[in-house]
Structure 1
């Protein structure tokens, strides 16, 4: 009475494994695309940063940084996320930063100053940023070429 049961005699077991090879292929293609396009996405102002050894700033990945740059001629630039700006006056920069900080109070403010710009120019910029509502200001530097 083997054949009188309710189950068909040659039923296949369900497959409980997922084939992940196609997902790995897609991931590798995306990785190559991002590696090729990432250098093209960097934009900004040409600034020769002073070189120094320091610990990296601990940043919150969810918070967008406000980067203020000062070039060799003392011109100010504002970068928020991927958006850069044309050169602007210090008073206009303060107004823009104040607007941004009023909407996003937890944004961090970073200063990128050319190594050839006068010290007083960077100090005036930091005073204006503090007046605009920046509670803490970080300085961006380059790592020295010969790290000994």
Structure 2
């Protein structure tokens, strides 16, 4: 009984050490990635690869710029920022009854795009199908059995 307790204590200690190791490793990886992102922002992608470019921007740098712009757009259109804009401009919410819609001359409404022609019914002419292709699987099996039976009948002395 004493031995089981010692083994369990060793296992628990090993699990705690492994958990701490994983936590430290994950933090180090996250900090390393942040450092790389900062280097790319400051020096560009070529600093990390020591690659002298031909003026071509790598895909990774473009993807990072797109991600940064997307996050900036999300921040600018967030609820809190929009509420601050409303307060700065002294705007007040109104009821739907007080909204007036006006028709603008020359405005063309968005039209839905149709990339494919409208579906048409497909008519299959049953008379043009070759008779060989009208046979079902069951009919084919029956014909094969009959053919084999004929061969066996011919072989008998």
- Structure with bigger helix share is 2
> Would the TM-score normalized by the shorter structure come out above 0.5?
no
Bigger relative contact order, structure 1 or 2 (CA pairs below 8 A, ≥6 apart): 1
TM-score by length of 2: 0.27
- Structure with bigger strand share is 1
Structure 1 or 2, whichever has the larger Rg, is: 2
TM-score by length of 1: 0.28
